Chain A
Amino acid sequence: MSIEQREARQPWILLAPALTAIIMLLIVPLIFIVVYSFWLKSAAGADTPGFFLDNWQEALTDPFYRDILLNTLKIAAFTTIACALLGYPAAYFIARSQGNKVVLLVLLMLPFWISYIIRTMSWINILGVSGALNSALIWLGIINEPIQMLYNETTVILGLVHFLLPFMVLNIFVSLDGIDTNLEDAASSLGATRWQGFLQVTLPLSLPGLAAGGLLCFVLSAGTYITPVILGGPRDAMFANLVYEAIIRQLNWPLGSALSLLLLVVLGVLVIIYNRYLGMAQLAKGLG
């Protein structure tokens, strides 16, 4: 074999293990559940292979699934908006502050390392019947009996915001940090107020970061099922909870396949729209 041929083969040898893993453990399984979603659950024994539309019909027409899907998208949207409102000013502060930028960023990254389930359950300590807030209110004499503040849609959103806010801040920070501050100075020297300069120069330039953070928050919150179990009530199930129910509890794998694919398609459409207009490069920047 010539040296050129060996040179040409080398990268593929290096890539082979990772590519094989991704293809065998992600791509093929995804294709497999597409096939599986057309199978039929048998009352006993193995599921029946074939081409049945029953699962898709159930997933797409049952109002129960539709309502929960819409509710999931609503929760994800509220979470994303709350993250943007909380995150933008904080990101702006970090990007424009003098000197202690690194410390602020490291502090912001710390929760990334702290367990998701610990952060989620920590709200029970705050909002629970014997939690910090109730105890404080009773001690202050504002209420006599503890109020149940947990286990509703608001606390689910609260938990999700707490989990996802660092993603948002980081993405906005990355794009704010890349803006030449001379542009704002130029705007103000041309007679714009600080606020006008922000609205017409800085904000539009930082939109890619806001969009990348928004996409991450939306997709990650729409796919969650732990937060609603810990912080939500019995009626606050999200779509991923249905998938879990179907697969793990009812062992209805064909239906579970259809439901997971439905979630994948809905969120995939969002990612494709995002990619079409903004591209994946911005997202990679925020993740790296």
Chain B
Amino acid sequence: MGWRLIRVYTILVYLFMFLPIAVVVLLSFNANQFGSFPMTGLSTRWFEVLWNNDAIMRAFRTSIVLGLMTAVISTVLGVLASLALVRYQIPGRNMITTLLIAPILVPEVVLAVALLLFLNFLNIGKSFTLLLAGHVIFTLPFVILVVQARLVSIRRDVEEAALSLGASPMQTFLTITLPQLMPAVAAGGLFAFTISFDDITGTLFWKPGGIETVPTQIFSMLRNSISPEINALGTVIIVLTVGLPLIGAALARKLATKSGR
């Protein structure tokens, strides 16, 4: 009896999580010209409108470029730092770990203000550079957490065998460690990309006038009212953000099986 109740309760919680998202997808195919209920039929016209909206397409390009650059920089920095933390005995390890995940602990608004004011003081005003710096800083801890967790589970002795057989540390890293680490590198990069693509809090502080990312574009469109176009954009993003990680996970699994794990 009690278990049954918990099951029903859990189903309701999942409905609460997914129903609003489902309604976004449903309404994006709405033929009704105000994009609201009652639905008058199915149509893909809002996706056409979206495709022809230059502002949104520009925002998409900005978000993708920004996300890719953030992912590359964060992943490189994060993998190097994780290697140091997991593979070496270093004094003050806990302190350094806390420092590296500090951006998660500081409220994003505060981080945004501090970075904006400091870089402005150094004559780097609101710009793409500022955006990139900000996105790297708050995606870095997530990359480090993901990569570190994976690195701990990679056995040390294979690396040591390679080293004792005369491979240089660099060769060992490239041929032994990196291939095993690839799933975590991919996951970390994907994580960084998604967080960057999704960010609005910091982005609103850092973006220069005239540059919009997808979330800030949606935000400014919401000022007027919710239009079916926004629902269509939401649907595209939902498909991309749910589809990308799933493809990523599948790829990671394929890579992992290829390397015999």
Contacts and interface: CB of A to CB of B under 8 A. Distances in A.
A287 to B, nearest CB: 6
A219 to B, nearest CB: 7
Interface in B35-59: 36-38
Nearest to B214: A115
A110 B9 CA distance: 19
B185 interface: no
A135 interface: yes
B9 A93 contact: yes
Contacts of A115: 197-198, 214-215, 234, 237-238, 241
Interface stretch (B13-21, B154-162, B175-183): B13-21
Interface in B182-236: 194, 197-198, 200-201, 204-205, 214-215, 218-219, 222, 226, 230-231, 234
Interface in A7-48: 10-12, 14-15, 17-19, 21-23, 25-30, 32-33, 36
A118 B237 contact: yes
B102 interface: yes
B34 to A, nearest CB: 7
Most chain A C-beta atoms within 10 Å of own C-beta, residue among B2, B111, B144: B111
Contacts of A117: 198, 200, 215, 218-219
A21 B77 contact: yes
A111 B198 CA distance: 12
A22 B100 contact: yes
A124 B37 CA distance: 12
Contacts of A260: 109-110, 113-114
Interface in A122-145: 122-126, 128, 130-132, 134-135, 139
Most chain A C-beta atoms within 10 Å of own C-beta, residue among B77, B90, B215: B77
Nearest to A271: B105
Contacts of A244: 109, 204-205
A53 B106 CA distance: 24
A247 B111 CA distance: 13
Nearest to B24: A122
Interface stretch (A54-62, A83-91, A178-186, A201-209): A83-91
For chain A, the bracket of interface size reads 35 or more
Given A14-B80, A29-B117, A87 B99 contact: no
Given A19-B100, A30-B114, A247-B116, A114 B21 contact: yes
Given A22-B140, A116-B198, A243-B110, 10 more contacts: A10-B84, A21-B136, A29-B117, A29-B119, A89-B13, A93-B10, A110-B242, A113-B241, A115-B237, A117-B219
Interface of B: 2, 6-7, 9-10, 13-14, 16-21, 23-24, 27, 34, 36-38, 76-78, 80-81, 83-85, 87-88, 90, 96, 98-111, 113-119, 121, 133-134, 136-137, 140, 142, 144-146, 148-149, 169, 194, 197-198, 200-201, 204-205, 214-215, 218-219, 222, 226, 230-231, 234, 237-238, 241-242, 244-245
Q: When A and B form their complex, which 8 residue pairs have the shortest distance between CB atoms, in order from nearest? A: A223-B107, A29-B118, A130-B36, A29-B114, A135-B37, A122-B20, A18-B81, A14-B84
Interface of A: 10-12, 14-15, 17-19, 21-23, 25-30, 32-33, 36, 86-87, 89-90, 92-94, 107-108, 110-111, 113-119, 121-126, 128, 130-132, 134-135, 139, 162, 165-166, 169, 194-195, 219, 222-226, 229-230, 240, 243-244, 247-248, 253, 256-257, 260-261, 263-264, 267, 271, 280, 284, 287-288
